[in-house]
């Protein structure tokens, strides 16, 4: 891809899954990456793996639910890399203790609702808020937010998760509209069932079979699928794409 060599990108949620695969792809394409995650050991392992062939990947501890920690992540990236050209918001609280208790509205646990929106939506907004001044100072760049098909399709469960992702879509369009003329591109990725570490653990055979039946592809998603699209949106090849939320799902979200 054109234009990724030398780019300075923060991956906010890069310890595992889509985030980790994207770190590796970005470094492979020549970008320098700060790998932020609450899972510090995972961030360190991802950074080590990504930089084995001489690239730059720097692990950093951060908590997407804490404004000070988010600001410290961006400030640390500026200090380590000399600036920031891009931000990949990919973290979320999909733990069994949180997502597993996100039931229907009548069974709402307010703590789960607030935690989900606080991490999945407010955390993204705060990360973008911290990064945008530096991206503007760099002359422009890109933000990519991780959304979900749940942000626009109805679901019998997980209303907090769905609401947070619908909010991510609106946030994405706001950033693109407000700062697009100043050189900032902001787009979203809405994955289908992508078999990262968490999904392998959480998605039973029945769920996988349902997702595969709904897809137009003969397989489920791989983290590398998402990494390639994210890298494209950060690259110069994606320069004329702004304010879009792409459904990367093997056709799962296609409706007649």
Catalytic positions, please? 161
Cα(45)–Cα(55) distance, rounded to whole angstroms? 14
Residues 6 or more apart whose CB falls under 8 angstroms from that of 244 comprise: 187, 188
Cα(80)–Cα(99) distance, rounded to whole angstroms? 34
Cα(176)–Cα(184) distance, rounded to whole angstroms? 7
What's the sign of the alpha-carbon dihedral 80, 81, 87, 92?
Answer: negative
Q: Are 211 and 192 in contact (CB under 8 A)?
A: yes
Q: Are 42 and 76 in contact (CB under 8 A)?
A: no
Cα(43)–Cα(20) distance, rounded to whole angstroms? 8
Cα(78)–Cα(58) distance, rounded to whole angstroms? 12
The SS3 of residue 34 is strand
Q: Which runs of consecutive H residues, i.e. helices, occur in 12-52?
A: 17-28, 40-50
Task: Give the residue carrying structure tokens 């510090």.
Answer: 40
- Please work out, in degrees rounded to the nearest 5, the angle formed at the alpha carbon of residue 125 by the alpha carbons of 122 and 128: 150
């Amino acid at each position: 891809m054109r234009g990724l060599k030398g780019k300075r990108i923060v991956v906010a949620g890069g310890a595992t899954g889509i985030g980790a695969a994207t770190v590796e792809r970005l470094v492979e394409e020549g970008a320098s990456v700060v790998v932020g995650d609450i899972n510090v050991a995972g961030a360190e392992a991802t950074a080590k793996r990504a930089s084995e062939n001489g690239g730059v990947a720097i692990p950093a501890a951060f908590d997407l639910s804490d404004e000070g920690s988010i600001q410290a992540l961006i400030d640390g990236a500026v200090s380590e890399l000399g600036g920031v050209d891009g931000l990949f918001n990919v973290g979320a609280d999909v733990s069994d203790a949180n997502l597993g208790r996100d039931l229907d509205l009548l069974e709402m646990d307010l703590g789960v609702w607030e935690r989900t929106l606080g991490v999945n939506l407010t955390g993204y907004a705060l990360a973008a808020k911290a990064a945008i001044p530096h991206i503007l100072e760099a002359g422009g760049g890109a933000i990519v937010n991780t959304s979900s098909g749940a942000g626009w399709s109805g679901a019998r469960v997980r209303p907090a998760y769905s609401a947070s992702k619908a909010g991510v879509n609106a946030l994405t369009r706001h950033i693109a509209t407000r700062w697009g003329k100043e050189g900032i591109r902001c787009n979203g990725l809405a994955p289908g069932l992508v078999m990262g570490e968490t999904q392998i653990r959480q998605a039973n055979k029945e769920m996988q079979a349902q997702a595969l039946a709904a897809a137009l592809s003969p397989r489920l998603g791989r983290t590398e699928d998402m990494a390639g699209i994210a890298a494209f949106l950060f690259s110069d090849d994606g320069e004329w794409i702004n304010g879009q939320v792409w459904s990367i799902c093997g056709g799962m979200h296609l409706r007649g």
